[in-house]
């Protein structure tokens, strides 16, 4: 019996809890400074979808007794890519990064090349690789096939909301 699934699950959950703590700290500070939240319902849907995806992949992975093999390695690498990109996005956005759509009165548009080349890198270079990698690492094929398309529904809603907010806030966005 391999320890891979248990260790991977524990590390992934710990990583997500740690980033959530950063988000909560930023959110509180932003709101104290007069920031406004947009799309709270969509944020709640996204959070529920994220937790549901993780729980489904964990249950499926443990049920399958996912071995550590080439598929798991590919999933682990994809997950790692997404995790590293999340840290990059958090660093680039600084105190403005949260898991919610919050705009501060002094919000500034980040013009780093990553944001110029990839619209919404947090979603396309972090969340989607993270979820796909998590499911692959655990051989959670049903979760990947059903859960990822379902996750895309609130994600597309969030992207559309964010586009509207950014266009209204920043001229030439």
Q: Which residues pair with 101 in a beta bridge?
A: 38
In angstroms, rounded to a whole number, what is the distance separating the alpha carbons of residues 24 and 106? 19
pTM of the model: 0.94
Task: Give the side-chain half-sphere CA count within 13 A for 36.
Answer: 7
In the predicted structure, residue 3 carries a pLDDT above the cut 90: no
Residue carrying structure tokens 């548009």: 109
Listed by start position, the domains of the chain span 4-169
* Res 48: pLDDT: 98
In the predicted structure, residue 117 carries a pLDDT above the cut 80: yes
* Interior angle at CA 91, CA 85 and CA 97, nearest 5: 90
Task: Give the side-chain half-sphere CA count within 13 A for 155.
Answer: 17
Q: At what angle do helices 128-137 and 70-93 cross, to 10 degrees?
A: 150
* Res 4: pLDDT: 87
Mean per-residue pLDDT of the chain:
96
Residues 6+ apart with CB under 8 A from 8: 76, 137, 138
In the predicted structure, residue 1 carries a pLDDT above the cut 60: no
Residue carrying structure tokens 């964010």: 162
How big is the chain, counted in residues? 173
Rg (CA), the chain: 17
In angstroms, rounded to a whole number, what is the distance separating the alpha carbons of residues 154 and 29? 26
Q: What is the mean pLDDT of residues 110-122?
A: 93
Q: How many CB atoms are closer than 10 A to CB 22?
A: 16
Q: Kindly indicate the confidence band of residue 77, based on its pLDDT and cuts at 50, 70 and 90.
A: very high
Q: What is the mean pLDDT of residues 67-93?
A: 97
Q: What is the CATH architecture of 4-169?
A: Up-down Bundle (1.20)
């Amino acid at each position: 019996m391999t320890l891979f699934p248990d260790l991977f699950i524990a590390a992934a959950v710990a990583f997500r809890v740690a980033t959530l703590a950063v988000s909560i700290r930023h959110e509180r500070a932003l709101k104290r400074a007069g920031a406004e939240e947009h799309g709270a319902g969509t944020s709640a849907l996204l959070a529920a979808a994220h937790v549901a995806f993780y729980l489904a992949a964990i249950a499926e992975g443990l049920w399958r007794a996912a071995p550590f093999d080439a598929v798991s390695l590919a999933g682990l690498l994809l997950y790692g890519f997404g995790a590293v990109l999340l840290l990059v996005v958090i660093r680039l956005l600084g105190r403005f990064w949260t898991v919610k759509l919050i705009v501060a009165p002094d919000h500034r548009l980040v013009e780093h090349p990553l944001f110029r080349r990839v619209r919404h890198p947090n979603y396309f270079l972090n969340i989607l690789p993270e979820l796909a990698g998590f499911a692959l690492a655990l051989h959670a094929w049903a979760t990947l096939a059903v859960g990822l398309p379902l996750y895309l529904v609130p994600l597309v809603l969030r992207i559309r909301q964010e586009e509207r907010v950014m266009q209204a806030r920043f001229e030439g966005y």
